[in-house]
Structure 1
Amino acid sequence: MIVPSKGNKTVTEKTAMVRSARQLLSAITRVLLLADKVIVKQLLVSKDKVLNALNDLDKVTSFTDFVNYFSKFGNDMVELAHLTGDRQNDLKSEKHRAQMGAARAILERSTSMLLPSCKTCLRHPDCGTAKRNRDCVFKQMRQALNMIHFIVTDGGCSQMNGHSSPITNGDSGIGLDNVHPSASKALKDLEEAVELTRVTGVSGQSCEKIHSALDSVIETAQDFTDSAYTSHDNREKIVQSCDQLRSDLQTVFEKSSSQNQNDLLSTQEAETAVLKTITSVNGLKKQLQETAMDQASELFKANEDHDLLKCLKLGGINGNVKKVDELSVKFEEHREQLEEVCKLFRHIATTEPLVITAEHNEYVLRNIGEMVLLAAKTLAEYSNSKIARENLENFAEAWESQINDLSVLVKEVNDFCQGRMDKPVYLSLPRPGTAPNTPQLKKEAWNMSN
């Protein structure tokens, strides 16, 4: 009989231990994956409950039915708010966390706008602007729910009204048309491509990559030069910086193609050309940042929001339809300028979360701006309506709150560009786990038919 040696026994025991540890890790992984699927399923079910509650609210024609459906909607929203807040904490991707924060911010703000817009529509069922105002709130909330579905299914197809459709626009995925990269990313890609020539030289493939990166930089820079709110001086500086960048890149191609590895002088010339190009890239980046900051500074310095909202309210209360129409034109121009600032700050943002926050601000300002004007026109048509007046007050407050969020974004992006922050704090997005003040909303709903 052969007795196993002590050494063989130790090896056998270690092998068995490793096998058991792997099996344990595999079992834990399967449990965690199963738990995650359960959480995702629970979240999607909660999202569908809110969507169904919204569809029910969309169909009501009486105050009594609305009160009943709104009470159910409020409970469903509280559940979804907590689930999405927990999910936002658990998400590993900064981009997905920012996307979830943007979607939750829209739902939180829209919930407070839903009640007065529906009350106004029910009180004045023949008013076209009141119905459009309410429909805008519904549309915004449905898009936010669609975005939540997109995030929790990790980029799968989103369900909207029973149909699947992939999210193909913007970094935020909440309804913008930004399909080209930000200027910050385009400049980074170009810098990396130029840096790579130090190792690989300029081959056919690298040359094509550099030209493609340069085209992307020029395209994004055009958003700055084409802006009606960019000063002539800044526009000229951007054009000059782009021309300088083209010239420096041409020098890189020339020096790299004629470079002789055994010739110290030609190697130094190629290195100098690369360094000069990188300096030009950073110069253009700084110029774009200054242009965006100048626009934001001029906008906040003018501080038109307070006066425009005050005049819109006064025109509505006095039933002065003509005055409200005139002010609407000015307000739309002001809103477009704000959207332009958001677009430029999306370009200069240096992190994905800040890019998404900029898109979020642009999207919400566009929608709330339209709803403010619809609410003002409704009040002008029914100047004695207390509900219509409360409705305008609510949307005006939402607008002012979004302007404050934009000012926070401007500071965050500027701090990052200046290297004064280590990571984004998302001050312009809601904190995870924050639920809308649904009990107060439900209380108002019960009192609204009095």
Structure 2
Amino acid sequence: MFWIWIVKLKIGFEGAINCPEVENSVSACINSARDLSRHLANAGIQQAQELSTATKQGLELVSSIRQQALMSDIDRLHHTSNAFQDSIDHILEVCKLLRHVAVSETLQVSAKFTEINLRVYGPQVITAAKTLAAYPGSKIAQENLEVFADMYQWLVSDVTTIVKDVLEASQAKPEKQVYMSLPRPGKHGTTSKPLKAVRLDTEEQEKIAKSGLEMKLITSEMDAETDKWQESNTQVEAVRKFPPCVFSEIIVNEQN
């Protein structure tokens, strides 16, 4: 019974493959996916071009958060912190779009890590500001806020850089790959000729022998010097193993 069901299912698939309605449906799905991908790319590029306004607004909000935290203005700080969080969320969404729009794997990885860093360290500005507002006289809380505010500026700079790189890569035309044909042997000087043995005269042989003897002497001197270093190191290690009382006695004897 099971094999009969399998045969029927196979016949149904074969009939569907030859059905023009199925082919039209598959083609329509592929075209829709391409259109969706194109719209996504256009939306990402448009959002990236307008990102400068969001980053500028975020930096202004950070400046306001600093002042409100120093003044312990809790109500205004709460309102500004919410606006700042909305700004971070907007930039994060743009980073997600950039990750899908990026034409190279390097840009995709850069956009992903920029998004992660902004997601982790961006909200720390709000936490540090609330801590300073609760303890306005704390120097540590103030320095902590300054650190995270500066870090947010660096993160915004990273976002601006990755946006610029993605836009330039998306607008650049792909270069055509040129495949060079392999050289044929025996032409264009690519085939190396076999080397011929050359007989040396007596004077050149003596020079080579003399150079070899000098190298051997230099090597022997280096080996002897190395043995001295090893012997010295052995003595140093032996001295290091002396107990502290021995060093105390030595110092006392030198003072006497």
Q: Structure 1 length normalisation: TM-score?
A: 0.32
Residue 253 of structure 1 pairs with residue 23 of structure 2: yes
TM-superposed deviation, 1:355? 1.8
Q: After superposition, give the CA deviation of every residue in 1:156-193 in whole Å (9 maximum; x if it has no partner).
A: xxxxxxxxxxxxxxxxxxxxxxxxxxxxxxxxxxxxxx
Question: Unaligned regions of 5+ residues in structure 1, if any?
Answer: 1-203, 209-249, 257-273, 423-450
Q: 1:307 — aligned with what?
A: 60
TM-superposed deviation, 1:388? 1.5
Match of 1:403 among 156, 164, 171: 156
Q: 1:363 — aligned with what?
A: 116
TM-superposed deviation, 1:366? 1.0
Q: 2:70 — aligned with what?
A: 317
For residue 253 of structure 1, what is the amino acid of its counterpart? Answer: E
Q: 1:123 — aligned with what?
A: none
For residue 47 of structure 2, what is the amino acid of its counterpart? Answer: Q
TM-superposed deviation, 1:396? 0.7
Q: 2:50 — aligned with what?
A: 298
TM-superposed deviation, 1:286? 3.2
Q: 1:305–1:400: 8 Å Cα contact kept in structure 2?
A: no
Please identify, of 281-290 and 382-391, the stretch whose mean Cα deviation from structure 2 is larger: 281-290
Cα distance change of structure 1 residues 282 and 255 upon mapping to structure 2, 3 Å threshold: closer
In the alignment, the residues of structure 2 paired with residue 301 and residue 331 of structure 1 have an alpha-carbon distance, to the nearest angstrom, of 13
Match of 1:286, SS? helix
Q: After superposition, give the CA deviation of every residue in 1:235-285 in whole Å (9 maximum; x if it has no partner).
A: xxxxxxxxxxxxxxx8781499xxxxxxxxxxxxxxxxx7x9987765543
Match of 2:135 among 382, 396, 411: 382
Q: 2:37 — aligned with what?
A: 285
Q: Structure 2 length normalisation: TM-score?
A: 0.54
Please show how residues 178-327 of structure 1 align to structure 2 within 5 Å.
253-254=23-24, 283-302=35-54, 303-327=56-80
Question: Unaligned regions of 5+ residues in structure 2, if any?
Answer: 1-12, 176-256
Q: 2:65–2:80: 8 Å Cα contact kept in structure 1?
A: yes
Please show how residues 15-164 of structure 1 align to structure 2 within 5 Å.
none
Q: 1:372–1:395: 8 Å Cα contact kept in structure 2?
A: yes
For residue 288 of structure 1, what is the amino acid of its counterpart? Answer: L
In the alignment, the residues of structure 1 paired with residue 102 and residue 152 of structure 2 have an alpha-carbon distance, to the nearest angstrom, of 23
Residue 345 of structure 1 pairs with residue 98 of structure 2: yes
For residue 373 of structure 1, what is the amino acid of its counterpart? Answer: I
Q: 2:114–2:158: 8 Å Cα contact kept in structure 1?
A: yes
In the alignment, the residues of structure 2 paired with residue 311 and residue 304 of structure 1 have an alpha-carbon distance, to the nearest angstrom, of 11
* Runs of 4 or more consecutive aligned structure 1 residues displaced over 6 Å after TM superposition: 276-280
TM-superposed deviation, 1:352? 2.3
Q: 1:415–1:421: 8 Å Cα contact kept in structure 2?
A: no
Determine what percentage of the aligned residue pairs are the same residue.
Answer: 32
Structure showing greater Rg: 2
Q: 1:361–1:402: 8 Å Cα contact kept in structure 2?
A: yes
TM-superposed deviation, 1:356? 1.8
TM-superposed deviation, 1:320? 1.4
TM-superposed deviation, 1:417? 1.8
In the alignment, the residues of structure 2 paired with residue 348 and residue 335 of structure 1 have an alpha-carbon distance, to the nearest angstrom, of 20
Q: 1:60 — aligned with what?
A: none
Q: Number of residue pairs matched?
A: 159
Match of 2:103, SS? coil
Pairwise CA RMSD = 3.1
Q: 2:83 — aligned with what?
A: 330
TM-superposed deviation, 1:346? 1.3
For residue 136 of structure 2, what is the amino acid of its counterpart? Answer: S
TM-superposed deviation, 1:289? 1.6
In the alignment, the residues of structure 2 paired with residue 366 and residue 314 of structure 1 have an alpha-carbon distance, to the nearest angstrom, of 23
In the alignment, the residues of structure 1 paired with residue 50 and residue 129 of structure 2 have an alpha-carbon distance, to the nearest angstrom, of 27
Q: After superposition, give the CA deviation of every residue in 1:40-66 in whole Å (9 maximum; x if it has no partner).
A: xxxxxxxxxxxxxxxxxxxxxxxxxxx
Cα distance change of structure 1 residues 357 and 335 upon mapping to structure 2, 3 Å threshold: same
Cα distance change of structure 1 residues 403 and 298 upon mapping to structure 2, 3 Å threshold: same
Match of 1:384, SS? coil
For residue 313 of structure 1, what is the amino acid of its counterpart? Answer: R
In the alignment, the residues of structure 1 paired with residue 36 and residue 139 of structure 2 have an alpha-carbon distance, to the nearest angstrom, of 53
In the alignment, the residues of structure 2 paired with residue 415 and residue 297 of structure 1 have an alpha-carbon distance, to the nearest angstrom, of 11
Q: 2:58–2:88: 8 Å Cα contact kept in structure 1?
A: no
Q: 1:375–1:391: 8 Å Cα contact kept in structure 2?
A: yes
